[in-house]
Amino acid sequence: MITVQQAIELIIQELRSAQNQHPLFPTDPIHAVAIMAEEAGEATQAAHDFTYGGKHAEKLQKEIIQTGAMAIRNLINFHHFKANKSPQVEG
């Protein structure tokens, strides 16, 4: 079993790794939240693979950690978000 402190430490480690690998982060909330949603989707796929495909739980844990890191990254960068609506085109 993992403690709350251990979970937070794993998420912070992943956050730092992501910030080093990708120092820039979107300022529009749609793209920023989409990054987090992508990680959550990967966690969902890993949960499915674990439950029905006999895959290892480590992949699921990794994806959950990455989702948590992106949730924190969105919160950290929240003050940079700009609500710039995309222009609509016909077609």
What is the spatial distance between Cα 30 and Cα 67, in angstroms, rounded to a whole number? Answer: 16
Q: What is the pLDDT of residues 13-33, one digit of tens each?
A: 999 999 999 999 999 999 999
- On whether residue 91 sits in a domain, the answer given is no
Residue 69 lies in a domain: yes
Rounded Cα–Cα distance for residues 19 and 2 (Å): 24
What's the domain count of the chain? 1
Q: What residue numbers bound the domain in which 50 lies?
A: 25-80
- Other CB atoms within 10 Å distance of the CB of residue 53: 9
pLDDT, the chain, mean: 94
Round to whole Å and give the CA distance between 66 and 39: 6
Task: Let me know if residue 56 belongs to a domain.
Answer: yes
Mean pLDDT of 34-62: 96
Q: pLDDT (tens digit, 9 = 90+) per residue, 52-74? A: 999 899 999 999 999 999 999 99
Instruction: Decide if 69 contacts 15 (C-beta within 8 A).
Output: yes
pTM here?
A: 0.89
Q: Is residue 19 part of a domain?
A: no
Q: Which amino acid is at 56?
A: H
